[in-house]
Structure 1
Amino acid sequence: MPALKALFTLLMALATTLPVRAAAAELALPGYQRSDGAITTYFGGDSIDPYFAAKALLAAQDAGMATTTAAGKWIAWQLPRQHGDGRFDRYCLTGQHFAACQAADADDALMAAWMELLVRTAPAKGMPPAWQASFDKAARYLDTLRDRRTGVYQISSTLPVALLMDNVEVSSAFKAVSAYRQRLGDSSGAAAWARQAEQLDQAILRVFWRKGGFLVSTQPRERSEFYPDAVAQIFPILADIQPPGHPHASAYQAWMTTHRFAWLQMTEVDFPWGLVALVADKMGDADAITCWRVRSNQFRHGHHWNVLEEALFLAFEARLTPAQALAPPPASLRCR
């Protein structure tokens, strides 16, 4: 008993002296998320791309923000707009309401992002029935896009081309579903989804990995551009897809040596590619994130800025004090 009492006293002392981990900041998207839950692609925009909305929420979560409120409102808005076969549309503002105006781009990536968002936003007891039904429809439709010969997923039923980055997102979704099933105590279900992810990862490497670099598409490309060619080389890091003999750290360092300044200048001429900053975050490169955040700040809500960039900017800024957020980068940082 004396020993037990001493242990209890020690644990109580530790509980009162150890630092308490701060709760994650909750994502809010003023100017992008409307009161009804809809998330526009651009600031105060008149169009909605469901892929960018889901991707923004997932990326913010990856960068450490809580997204329960924003994601819950978006899911509630999107659920009744899902087609019976699992697909979604893009939407345009007509009067005061958004109406379907165009088929969504890249069904494979969108189905994957939607499935991942549902399982990562689900309450501890599991997805509500309406969410589960939506997930099942998306999963069934995604399965129709799998090329049985190669094992990778194609863009859509009308565009039978496989893209590296889309398949990485499908892999990420499968891994998230596996983790979700494990969280619910369904070990066999978790193992089944993990096997799907592993099989897809192997197929991705067979189809896209060539001589020390990734192809971006099964369709030949005439010239190489920053997007998708350069961005795609480190995108697999986000889903932990690693070619044999090419560790993530080496691949990331080589990419930054070659493309760092081009990437940081992209905000001025093209999209800011905040997903590269998310890779930097995964690799522990705080300097790259600082440079991206400081250089991008002046372009927020502009022509080259969408909700995905905004979500990542807010996630990285949430880690800072107000003074740190306003401070220029140290002179030792090479941000130009």
Structure 2
Amino acid sequence: MKTRNLWMASAAMAWQLAGSAQAAEPPALAEFATGDGAYYTTLGGQVVDPYFVNKGFTIALQADVPLKAELRRWLAWLLPRQRLDGGFDRYCPTGDMGWRSCMGADADDSMAATTIEMLHQAREKKWLTTSQLVAADLAIVRSQQLLTRLRNPKNQLYKALLNTELYYLMDNVEVYEALRVTEGAQAGPASKQLATAITRNFRSGSDWKPALPEYDQPRFYPHTLASAYLWQTGVISSAESDRATAQWLALHGKAWLSRSEDDYAWGLVAWKMRQTAPIQAACWRASLRPFQATIGWTVLDAMIDQALAQKGIGTQCPFAKTTAPATAPAANP
């Protein structure tokens, strides 16, 4: 997720104006549904960004969340909209209950990667209908062809868009994950080569550059968050991943859980640490309850919250008093 233009303020206002009182539970997947198989990116939003939905279903598949019917409806909506070059746009509703392409993809490399990974996992779990198998295979081939065009043979990295020379650490890790799922149990030459390229180009001592060229001003997103995408992927060893998770939590855990530096929930961090730090993953779930409309809550976060619950991660946090987001002070009378 590169673009911060998710319209959080307007979405939160729309949700509040709709009369939603502060709820104990954060909004679930159904509250993002458009009614025809797709899902809006944010609460009260008017944009369908397939990246967020694909990423959410990929995680749901990994967690065995029972969303087979929802996935089938999503694919029935999504796959016919794939461009001939393998990419997907972002979509806005039209006045006649239809959809129009209103923006290009934020990043074609991550969009293609999540499409490949989601469809491969859905095939393995036999979640696709007979008619969807052919469409899924075609979508995978087109996405792979797009990735081939996005790959720079000189640095062996994948650029975000065909007309740019911008490379994201997060995107390249997602491409690595897509390559791994297609290779099977053993890592193949393509993923090994990419893992080497990621380390060579993005690593700077003990730190990781979130993008090339580098950003001028460090911010919570993407600088603080980018390295979390590496955890438990195989790009770095399991031991290094565990150490990196612990170090990240020591430095940034409080800001992440309290959302003091960034309003977004960033559930992907909780998902990435579910094995190494399940208590902190539970603290993330606890920090959302009772839910506040000021939280930047996406369809991806909703599916991650459900996936963590499916994996047995509860909502009890022994550090709740120190990690709970601060409430706004009462206005002067």
TM score, norm. by length of structure 1: 0.79
Q: Which residue number corresponds to residue 191 of structure 2? A: 197
2 CA distance for matches of 1:148 and 1:203?
11
2 CA distance for matches of 1:86 and 1:300?
38
Structure 1 residues 34, 335: CA separation in 2 closer, same or farther (over 3 Å shift)? same
Higher helix share: 1
Residues 270 and 281, structure 2, Cα contact 8 Å, conserved in 1: yes
Select which of 297, 305, 309 maps to 2:297.
305
Q: Residue type matched to 1:132 in 2?
A: D
CA positional deviation for 1:176: 1.1
- For 1:120-131, list aligned pairs within 5 A: 120-122=121-123, 128-131=133-136
CA positional deviation for 1:172: 0.4
Q: Deviations over 1:19-42 (max 9, x none)?
A: xxxxxxxxx721223342112112
- For 1:279-294, list aligned pairs within 5 A: 279-283=272-276, 285-294=277-286
Unaligned runs of 5+ in 2: 1-27, 325-333
Q: Deviations over 1:58-97 (max 9, x none)?
A: 1233344244322222111111111111111100111222
- For 1:71-220, list aligned pairs within 5 A: 71-95=71-95, 96-122=97-123, 128-179=133-184, 194-220=188-214
Q: Deviations over 1:280-323 (max 9, x none)?
A: 2032x2221121111123346656111011111122234569xx
Residues 256 and 262, structure 2, Cα contact 8 Å, conserved in 1: no
Over the aligned positions, Cα root-mean-square deviation in angstroms equals 2.6
Q: Which residue number corresponds to residue 250 of structure 2? A: 257
Residues 299 and 305, structure 1, Cα contact 8 Å, conserved in 2: no
Residues 48 and 91, structure 1, Cα contact 8 Å, conserved in 2: yes
Larger radius of gyration: 1
Equivalent residues, number: 292
Structure 1 residues 204, 74: CA separation in 2 closer, same or farther (over 3 Å shift)? same
2 CA distance for matches of 1:234 and 1:222?
20
Residues 111 and 142, structure 1, Cα contact 8 Å, conserved in 2: yes
Q: Deviations over 1:168-215 (max 9, x none)?
A: 000001111122xx7xxxxxxxx6x72211111111011111111111
1 CA distance for matches of 2:175 and 2:293?
29
Provide the secondary structure at the position in 1 that maps to 2:218: coil
Q: Residue type matched to 2:206 in 1?
A: G
1 CA distance for matches of 2:292 and 2:78?
26
Provide the secondary structure at the position in 2 that maps to 1:308: helix
Pairing 1:272–2:260 present: no
Q: Deviations over 1:104-134 (max 9, x none)?
A: 1100000000111111111567971221111
CA positional deviation for 1:43: 2.8
Residues 43 and 301, structure 1, Cα contact 8 Å, conserved in 2: no
Residues 72 and 121, structure 1, Cα contact 8 Å, conserved in 2: no
Structure 1 residues 330, 194: CA separation in 2 closer, same or farther (over 3 Å shift)? same
Provide the secondary structure at the position in 2 that maps to 1:111: helix
TM score, norm. by length of structure 2: 0.80
Unaligned runs of 5+ in 1: 1-27, 183-190
- Between 1 and 2, higher relative CO (CA 8 Å, sep ≥ 6) is seen in 2
